[in-house]
Amino acid sequence: MTSLTRRQALSVAATLIAGAALQGCSTTSTDNGSGTKAITFLTFETPNLTPAYWDAAIKRVTDKNPDIKVTKLVAPTADGRTDYAKQLLQSGQFPDVMIAVSPAGFAEAGNLYAWQPEELKDFVYPTANPIKGKYFQLPANTQTIPPVYYNKKMFADAGITAPPTNWSELLDACVKLKASGVTPFVAGGGKDTFASSMILSGIVSVDVYGKTPDWLTQRRADKVKFSDPDFTAALAKFAELAQKGYIAKSDVSRDYAATEQAFLDGKGAMYPMGNWFAANADAKHPFDIGVFNFPTADGRLVVPAYTGGGMIVSAKAQNLDAAKRFALAFQLDKAQLDASVKADGLIPAIKGYTPPADTGAVYKAGYDLYQQAVSQNAVVHAFRWETADDGLLPGMANKVDAAAQDLITGRKTAAEAATYLDTEWAKAS
């Protein structure tokens, strides 16, 4: 979209969406008497999840369910899919099925279908992400957010003989990397603001949640605040990385795709990112890439993860049964699960599922780290990525990203960022 102005891009997007919506709405429960059920499906695209990936996934389902006709809608940005769904709802074009869209706000307003226990029997964590005791999003995948991917050659050249296991060792690695002429961390931002807060997500998850696993639930009950010492200390640790030049201030202007490419181009030694990066790490591997758990202060094992991210279905879908069938068929199809592993590095949370034997070395390393954490009961929520009753209030994820960018650029101190988050939380409440 670099050749279009933002206003032009939005205008074009609106035109395309309107056309797609009309196509979806023009078909009732039958199509010319053929019995075809028309549904709309909101997706998003990333360097891993290309148009071809989504088209193939849709085709696998519709080949087995020929009575379902799918009109694909695509969010303008990878990280803006929830906001985009809100826009479509407000304009009367709410999609029938959506993937990786937060149910918060939509569910409480009665816009989403609540999945029944029998429909969730094949999922490992059927009670993940409850909203007032009901389950609106299929708990399809687990994602570790964030492990730290690193350039093994840069580590070796800087004299780092092993990946860090605690915060002190991580800072020591940063010192050595910077002394060798290498920027320690690759971060991002731009239109994909989550890339700015990925490191902060790791710090809060292992430091704050590692000590108080239900911290965000307590925040919803006003028992804790962002300005409390533990959370402010996490903000300060993040700010320190930028202050010492371990994160470049200019990184916040780089979108997600460019951020990933920057790491693959060797513009930094460490890339904290969700485990979905493993897919491209294995596919492209321009150098030897390792992975380690985000380090805690004392070296204790704490692994942030999120299980969910699956389909949500509009409660008011004209062809509700078809929408539900499509969503379940999409999420439970073995070929689709294998494709999601290879294309997006996901860990399917489906009973009896095991990843394909030919998955790459980076994915396997991350998968093993997660399984080790599961066996030791060391998994906590991934801050900023939670949904439902134990997640951020609607709209707050963007505020966390904004605070992270301000900490990287030095526009806010840790105390100021904490106050800002408390203020925005009060507004969101």
Average pLDDT of the residues in 86-106: 95
Q: What is the pLDDT of residue 78?
A: 81
Please name the helix (run of DSSP H) or strand (run of DSSP E) that holds residue 183, with its range, or none: none
pLDDT for 103 beyond 70: yes
Convert the pLDDT of each residue in 3-33 to its tens digit. 333 333 333 344 334 434 333 333 333 454 5
Convert the pLDDT of each residue in 113-132 to its tens digit. 999 999 999 999 999 989 99
Q: What is the pLDDT of residue 27?
A: 33
Q: How confident is the model at residue 1 (pLDDT cuts 50, 70, 90)?
A: very low
Contact (CB, 8 A) for 137 and 308: yes
Q: How confident is the model at residue 364 (pLDDT cuts 50, 70, 90)?
A: very high
Convert the pLDDT of each residue in 61-93 to its tens digit. 999 999 999 999 999 988 789 999 999 999 999
Task: Determine the angle formed by the axes of helices 320-332 and 51-64, rounding to 10 degrees.
Answer: 110
- Report which of 305, 287, 285 is spatially closest to residue 371, judged by C-alpha positions: 305
pLDDT for 218 beyond 70: yes
Mean pLDDT score across all residues of the chain: 91
pLDDT for 110 beyond 50: yes
- Domains along the chain? 6-142+309-362 (3.40.190.10), 144-306+365-428 (3.40.190.10)
Average pLDDT of the residues in 246-275: 97
Q: What is the pLDDT of residue 79?
A: 78
Strand partners, 375: none
Region of residue 192 (phi > 0: left; psi between -120 and 50: alpha; otherwise: beta): beta
Contacts of 415 (CB under 8 A, 6+ apart): 227, 232
Contact (CB, 8 A) for 27 and 36: yes
- Report which of 130, 135, 132, 131 is spatially closest to residue 114, judged by C-alpha positions: 135
Q: How confident is the model at residue 265 (pLDDT cuts 50, 70, 90)?
A: very high
- pTM for the full predicted model: 0.83
pLDDT for 242 beyond 70: yes
- Report which of 327, 325, 326, 349 is spatially closest to residue 337, judged by C-alpha positions: 349
